[in-house]
Amino acid sequence: MSDLKRINSALISVFDKSNLEPIIEKLNKLGVQIYSTGGTKQFIEKLGVKVIAVEDLTNYPSILGGRVKTLHPKVFGGILARRDNSSDIEQLGQYQIPEIDLVIVDLYPFEDTVASGAGEQDIIEKIDIGGISLIRATAKNFKDTLIVPSKNQYSDLLEILESKEGKTSIEDRKDFALEAFNVSSHYDTAIFNYFNSEKQKPVFKQSEISGTELRYGENPHQKGLFFGKIEDVFDQLHGKKISYNNLLDIEAAVQLISDFDETTFAVLKHNNACGIASRDKLVEAWNDALAGDPISAFGGILITNKEVDVESAIEIDKIFFEVIIAPSYTNDALEVLKKKKNRIILIQKMFEFPGKQYRSMLNGVLVQDRDSKMEVEVDLKTATNKTPSKEEIEDLLFANKLVKHSKSNTIVLAKNKQLCASGIGQTSRVDALKQAIVKANNFKFELKGAVIASDAFFPFADCVQIADEAGISSVIQPGGSIKDQDSIDYCNEHGMKMVLTGTRHFKH
């Protein structure tokens, strides 16, 4: 460790004063001259520590309701002066500018103010000007000055002050400068996105202040990170650390269950539902979801939209699974589920999905609106002579929800609000249907009276013919093919029913 510099002076201007007291006391003990202003100055004085007002340093008052306090050459000169530059040092003496070795800042909480639903004027007043300027200036001159850019670095500063008795190395100062530009760039991104929320200028700016390192990415040889606040979405009650692949499946599961209001249980594997059912009782929903594919359920992700009771937990505990997600659990249910130490148990909180989705693509990023549309009965247009019954309509809407959340090309077969089978991720819609029929037969599902859902239109009548031959009675699809009539005519000729949604749900 080289180039140790003693901190002789500090400028402190922070919004959040939590955990600041031990830093002030340590600086005072080290004999550091402290400059401050406004509420921070009052806080320091209440601790009985001597502090010089910035207004006394600059001989200029705080003006414009506090909008201008530290923006002055006597402040920024003392921060930006290069200690190894004789001309800079000469000018400090000429203009009676003291050197400032340490700057501690915590910015106005702009993001929190926006999130609170505050009015525009309150939001604008929370755009920090002096603080962000102090951060950039001090970080730029990291060779000589140390910047603490937010309350999240208070503890790191205190550790340095205590372990090095008020001295810092070039490595310390550069590390803090790195964090400073992380804070300032994130802050500016949040401000831009607020101003761009209505205009929607085609600019990609997203920022997360920190990431969580995962065990690995999709495979052990790939590094994986998660950027976001997963604690805002889930409480983890039990189990091992969530992995990259867990997160992919969890995202798919949460998206899927959000489209269901009835008591529903789903099992997912590799981002697709392999079993799902809606029932009056949760244990029945679980048993029928598992019946959809008890083989694929091994090591899967389980999710429900209702509280997990002990009766359901006892049945669930009979198989191996990675993750279970629910809005709540009874104490008895948790006692059963916690028997396996690595089993991840999550409580899903109320939260809103972001309106945009992002995907890295070639040398750039793809951005699209989230597919938040979900058809209801009034959206359905009967295309055939025969109209589906009430029960068939329920099954058609159930199956349509599943195709929305399955990889294209996809076909879903359902009956009595239970997934019989699906064909997913196929290059041919015919292959997807054949795959689903074979799978349903393997698990002994009776397809007579079942319904079929497709994520996109049928370009030919072949799919409805294959479905008819398997005993399927009703079809739901978006329509839109120039040959829609071919499929409609086949249905009419063979007594099938078809409804059109007008909305395609590709998922790649």
Active site residues: 140, 270
Structure tokens at 491: 């249905």
Which segments of 15-111 are extended strands (E)? 33-36, 52-53, 102-106
* Contact assessment for residue 81 and residue 91, using Cβ atoms and an 8 Å cutoff: yes
**Alpha-carbon distance 407 to 430, whole Å?**
15
Where are the strands (E) in 63-150, listed by range?
102-106, 146-148
Cis? peptide before 409, omega within 30° of 0 = yes
Neighbours of 382 (CB within 10 A): 13
Task: Give the whole-angstrom CA distance, residue 264 versus residue 508.
Answer: 25
Q: Residue 461 and residue 438: Cα distance in Å, rounded? A: 20
Say what angle helices 429-442 and 462-469 make with each other, to 10 degrees: 10
Count the helices and strands in the chain (H runs, E runs): 18, 23
Euclidean distance between CA atoms 79 and 340, whole angstroms: 56
Query: Do residues 417 and 426 make contact, with C-beta atoms less than 8 angstroms apart?
Result: no
- The answer to whether residues 49 and 20 touch, using CB atoms and an 8 Å cutoff, is no
Distances (CA, A) of 101 to 79, 92, 130, 460, 502: 7, 14, 17, 75, 65
- In this structure, is the dihedral angle defined by the CA atoms of residues 169, 170, 171 and 173, taken in order, positive or negative? positive
Interatomic CA distance for residues 360 and 492, integer angstroms: 45
Q: Which of 163, 43, 145 is nearest to 99 (CA)?
A: 145
**How many whole angstroms separate alpha carbon 272 and alpha carbon 425?**
10
Report CA-CA distances (Å) from 367 to 163, 363, 364.
47, 13, 10
Question: Do 150 and 107 form a contact (C-beta atoms < 8 A)?
Answer: yes
Dihedral angle, C-alpha 205, 206, 209, 214, nearest 10 ° = -140
